[in-house]
Structure 1
Amino acid sequence: MDEHSPVFAIAMAAELAGMHPQTLRQYDRLGLVSPTRTAGKSRRYSMRDIAQLREVSRLSAEGVSLEGISRILTLENEVSSLQGRVRELEHALANALLRTPGNRVFAAGMEGSVVPMRSGTRTRRRTEVVVWRPSLSE
């Protein structure tokens, strides 16, 4: 069972969220929290829905209007969706890089910086001799 599995009936969801079942029905009508419906049209809430109900309750207690809460939830859901998409793209990029080894080669520059190199090339080896003499001024 994951956080998106719709398993809680309205009475249990209301108890978990610390609300009255009628409040959950109202929030469903307003589109603040939209539970999944069964074949018999009864509501089923997931743990994600319960968390959203608690967030609605918290924001309402802070004086945020229902329209403001709706906007906040919409933005939070969008951010969550985009974060999931970023994770997918990062995973795809990592897999692509693993399938093509040797395409990204780096070397250290003279100042300690990172220098990109083409695969199969070598850095030019420096052969100068450096003499160090400690300073005699004390």
Structure 2
Amino acid sequence: MMEARAFPVEVVDEDEPRYRIGVVAAMVQLHPQTIRYYEAIGLISPRRVRGRIRLYSERDVERLRQIVELTRLGVNLAGVEIILRLREQIAALQAEIERLRALHGVEPPTPYD
């Protein structure tokens, strides 16, 4: 009988800077200059190493994907900024609700409550 073996699962730190701009541009199908523009207007904030090299995290890549999705839907960049900020606030509030539920032992409501 074969023995089941557990393999370690790599836990990815979503905030760890790991990708250069060229790789990110290919991942999200944007020109590097567009990504630099998004940085200049504050939509994205990659980390800089050794002074000039931009490195992007998984969270940065996901944010860029959201920007691409919203702009393709016709949302202008000011609207994109507002939508992304609201999404972040909603996620933070949902996390706080879950934390408080766990703290007080309250089960989440079922969809039909």
Provide the rounded CA distance (Å) in 2 between the counterparts of 1:42 and 1:25: 12
Instruction: List per-residue Cα deviations over 1:31-53 (Å, max 9, x = no partner).
Output: 11222222424222111211111
- The code of the aligned residue for 2:26 comes to E
- The code of the aligned residue for 1:27 comes to Y
The equivalent residue for 1:27 is 38
Provide the rounded CA distance (Å) in 2 between the counterparts of 1:10 and 1:59: 21
Instruction: List per-residue Cα deviations over 1:42-98 (Å, max 9, x = no partner).
Output: 22211121111111111111111110011001111111222222233233334xx9x
The equivalent residue for 1:59 is 70
Q: Higher helix proportion, which one?
A: 2
Q: Which has the larger radius of gyration?
A: 1
Task: Tell me if 1:85 matches 2:85.
Answer: no
TM-score, structure 2 normalization? 0.73
Task: Give the number of the structure with larger relative contact order, counting CA–CA contacts within 8 Å between residues 6 or more apart.
Answer: 2
The equivalent residue for 1:4 is 15
Moved over 6 A (4+): none
Pick which of 50-59 and 77-86 moved more: 77-86
The equivalent residue for 2:49 is 38
Pick which of 37-46 and 18-27 moved more: 37-46
List runs of 5+ in structure 1 lacking aligned partners: 98-138
TM-score, structure 1 normalization? 0.61
Displacement, 1:14?
Answer: 1.2
Aligned residues: 95
- The code of the aligned residue for 1:29 comes to A
Identity of aligned residues (%): 37
